[in-house]
Amino acid sequence: MKPSLAKGTRDFTSLEVSRRKYIINILQKNFELFGFQPLETPSFENLSTLTGKYGEEGDRLIFKILNSSINEAKEDKKTQMLTDFQKALDKPFSAESLTDKALRYDLTVPFARFVAMNHGKLTFPYKRYQIQPVWRADRPQKGRFREFYQCDADVVGSESLYQEVDLVQLYLKSFAELKVSVTIHINNRKILSGLAEYAGITDKLIDFTVALDKLDKIGKDGVVKELLEREISQESIDKLDFLFNQSNDALENLLQLKEKFAGNEIGLKGVEELEFVITQSLNLGVDIQNLVFDITLARGLDYYTGAIFEVKADEAQMGSIGGGGRYDNLTEVFGVKNVPGIGISFGLDRIYLVMEELNLFPEDATSNVEYLFANFGGEETLDALKLIIKLREKGISAELYPESAKINKQFTYAEKKGIKNLVFLGEEELKNNTVTYKNLEVGEQKTVSLEEFLNS
C-alpha cells in the first residue's frame, strides 16, 4: 500500500510546528491581555447544532459523520443502509438514521451552543478565546484546506460598540507583533439589509449577500451575473451599481449612504454603528489606511447581524487572514434569548503562509537543541548524562548521541538537525574539570571550566 494524505490535509515538520507555535503564542498572549479566557469544545457536534447556521453553501461544506450503527450492522443490513445513504446524498439531506453527527465547521456555533448550555453559570459579558482545528468539505487550493486551525476571540452578553473598537485593537496589535502589515475591511450587515430594502430586494437578502461576498473572487461582472441567476432584476442591480465605485474616504462613503437611506431605518442604524466604530478607532490612533469601510464586504454566514470584519495582508497575495462580526441572535436558536455576541477569528494557516512568503519568522521561532554531547563509548558517557541533567534543570535543551560512532557521523547528525553546539566531554576534560564545545554555526571551539559552561 502506497502511503498518502487525504486531500486538504497536511503533515507538519518540526520546523513548521515550531513556527505555528510562535504564531499561536503571540495570539494567545494578546487574547489574555485583552481579558479573554480559554475554552475548548469537541471536534464533532450534533448535526442539528451545525446545520442552518452557515447558509446554503456553508451547509454543503459540513463534514458529516456516518453513524457507528452502520459499521456495527450485519453485512446484509449494512449494504442496504449504505445504499439508502447514497440515495440520501442525491437529494436534500434528511437521513438522520444514517448521520446525526458532524465535524465542527467553525468555532462560533459550538461556542454559542456552549453558552446556551451554560448561561446560568457564566459571568457576562463572557469573553473566551479558542484555538482548535475545524473541518470543511471544500475544494483544496492555495490557502484553503479541509482541515485548518481557527484562533477565535468572542464576547457575548454585551451590545456595546466598544467591543467592536476593542477587537480592532486586538487585530492590529497582534498583526503588528507578527510584523504582518494588514488592512481591516469593515462593514455592517444592517447596511446590507438597508441596501436590499433600497433596491427592493428585501426577500432576496441572502442571495444578495452571498453573491456580493464573492466580489474579490469573481469581480463585478461575475457578481452581476450571479445576481441575475438568483432572479434579482436588472433594475435592482442598476440601483446598486454605486457599490462598485466607492471612494477611498470611509466617512464620505457613509455620508453618501445616509442620503440614499433617507427613511430607511435599518440602513441608517447600520451607518450610525459603523460611523461610531470607525470614529472611535481613529480617536485611539488607528491609521485610516488600516481600517477601510468596504461596502461590498458581506461575509456569507447567515448569523451576522451587525459589524463584519475581514483582514487582508498588504504585501502578499492571499485571501482573508482573519474575519468575524456581530451575531446578536445566535444563541436564540438553542432556546436562549437576549445574549448578543461579537467575535473575530485569526486564520492560523493563512497567516503562516503569508509569514513564510515574506520571510517574517525570526530565527528563534524554532526549537533546535542547544547542545549535543558526543558519545565516545567509555565511562565518560555517564558523566555526560549527569551534565545533561544539570543543563535540562536550567531549562537548556541537550541530548547525548545514542551510540558510540565515528565523530564525523556525530557532526553530520548535529548539522542536519540544526543543533548549535557539539560538546566533547572526554578523559582530559573530566580530569581538569573542563568542558570543550564547538559552535557549529560559526565554527569556533572553546574549552571552559565546568562552572563557566553551566553559567554561560
What is the C-alpha separation between 188 and 269, in angstroms, rounded? 9
| C-alpha cell belonging to residue 110 | 459550538
Instruction: Flag whether 108 is marked binding.
Output: yes
* Contact call for residues 62 and 166 (beta carbons, < 8 A): no
Backbone dihedral angles phi then psi of residue 333, each to the nearest 5 degrees: -70, -15
Instruction: Flag whether 106 is marked binding.
Output: yes
What is the C-alpha separation between 227 and 208, in angstroms, rounded? 7
Instruction: Flag whether 299 is marked binding.
Output: yes
Identify any residues that bridge with 373 across adjacent strands, giving them in sequence order. 400, 423
Instruction: Flag whether 303 is marked binding.
Output: yes
What is the C-alpha separation between 411 and 402, in angstroms, rounded? 13
* Contact call for residues 172 and 288 (beta carbons, < 8 A): no
Over the Cα atoms of the chain, what is R_g? 28
What is the C-alpha separation between 59 and 70, in angstroms, rounded? 23
Instruction: Flag whether 413 is marked binding.
Output: no
Instruction: Flag whether 136 is marked binding.
Output: yes
| Core vs surface per residue 143-168: b (16+ CB within 10 A) or e | bebbbbbbbbbbbbbbeebebbbbbb
What is the C-alpha separation between 355 and 365, in angstroms, rounded? 12
| Core vs surface per residue 75-108: b (16+ CB within 10 A) or e | eeeeeebeeebeebeeeebebeebbebbbbbbbb
Give which of 373, 357, 354, 360 is closest to 419, Cα–Cα. 373
Instruction: Flag whether 107 is marked binding.
Output: yes
What is the C-alpha separation between 311 and 320, in angstroms, rounded? 5
Please give the order of strands across the beta sheet that includes 421-424: 398-400, 371-373, 421-424, 434-439, 444-449
> Measuring CA to CA, how many Å separate 399 from each of 363, 370, 405, 416, 418?
21, 9, 15, 15, 13
Using DSSP, state whether 260 is helix, strand or coil: helix
My answer on whether omega of the bond before 125 falls inside 30° of 0, hence cis, is yes
Instruction: Flag whether 169 is marked binding.
Output: no
Instruction: Flag whether 162 is marked binding.
Output: no
Using DSSP, state whether 163 is helix, strand or coil: helix
**DSSP secondary structure of 114-127:** HHHHHTTTPPSSEE
Backbone dihedral angles phi then psi of residue 335, each to the nearest 5 degrees: 85, 10
Binding site, by residue number, is 106-108, 136, 150, 154, 299, 303-304
Binding site for L-histidine, by residue number, is 106-108, 136, 150, 154, 299, 303-304
